[in-house]
Amino acid sequence: MLDPSETCNTAIDAKNSKVVLQKSLKSSIGCSGIGLHSGKKVTMSLNPSHTNTGIVFRRTDVNIENQIIPARWDCVVDARLATTIGNDAGVCVSTIEHLMAAFAGCGIDNAIVNLDGPEVPIMDGSAAPFIFLMECAGIIEQSEPRRAIKLEKSIKVTDGNKYILACPDQAFSVDFEIDFEETPVAKQKLSMRLINGTFKTEISRARTFGFVHEVDALREAGLALGGSLDNAVVISGDKILNGDGLRYDDEFVRHKILDCVGDLYLSGSPIIGQINALRPGHALNNKFLHSLFQDESAWSYVRMDSALVPGAAHSWDQELSLATA
């Protein structure tokens, strides 16, 4: 397990650091796909937005005045197998976590996501296609400085035998463990600092996964209607049904980290701290954010200063030095 008191691997030279500016997309870009749980085809576009607006979703198919849903932790209305946000008018968008993880990994603070359906397209079940779209659209710096949420003390949330323990650290780091009865998954552990582009290279391609014996129950509940071997790793007993196998030997725990990165980006800013998790899920991720923001002594906003890292100019997950905002 990573030591919460451990310093960054590479010291930051304050003379060579600079204020990190907010970022948005350079141009609009779109795609179409199937919703994992709704099974409905949806067309989505990612669009530039002004500074300090954050990530917002807009349902273009809803013929009412209030089509906008802010991507915020306090707008989460459902966390069963996916993260769903909604507004006061009852307009919702589900399965936003992979797209939010891509926004986090690309360091995008401000964007408008237009959708003509109730769910973000699942694509291949990972965040990689969304990162590809954002890089194709281009990423631009804006005029306002970026801020992060710095953990000031440890905070823990639990749900039965599951927990998230967040501790102060000098960068964003994770220490995750999952435990399933199924042999291909079993116990998997992974610890890493998400710095120098490691989200894109080590986490973003990890796909969502599910178990054959759960399919009927999920579909009776109106979930996983669009699931297939094209957009999820499917496990039957001790076998992986996908013909191309796994992308990583520990793809399952990597996907749990991906989900957590996306869910935590609903805080509105990158979190600087270490996230230790045992059997995490969307509901627990959101419970953590509720607990965090209820305790004003547990966190503070800081200005993000960063030394330039070759090849990672558009990535937030790099070595950071912090200055009080």
DSSP per-residue string spanning 262-308: HHHGGGSS-EEEEEEEES--HHHHHHHHHHHHH-GGGEEEEEEEEE-
Rounded to the nearest 5 degrees, what angle is found at the Cα of 34, between the Cα atoms of 236 and 66?
130
Q: Residue 162 burial by CB count (10 A; 0-12/13-18/19+): exposed, middle or buried? A: middle
> What's the CA gap between 271 and 286, in Å, rounded?
14
Among the listed residues 37, 98, 255, 282, the single catalytic one is 282
CA distances (Å), 72 to each of 6, 76, 158, 213, 266, in order? 30, 7, 21, 33, 4
Neighbour tally for 182: CB within 10 Å: 16
Residues in the chain: 325
What is the C-alpha separation between 307 and 12, in angstroms, rounded? 6
Whether residue 282 lies in the annotated active site: yes
Q: Where are the alpha helices (DSSP H) in the chain?
A: 97-106, 128-137, 198, 215-220, 251-264, 282-294
Q: Give residue 272's identity as a one-letter amino acid code.
A: I
Interacting residues of 312 by C-beta distance below 8 A, sequence separation 6+: 196, 197, 318
Cα–Cα distance between 100 and 55 in angstroms, integer? 9
DSSP at 35? B
Active-site annotation, residues: 282
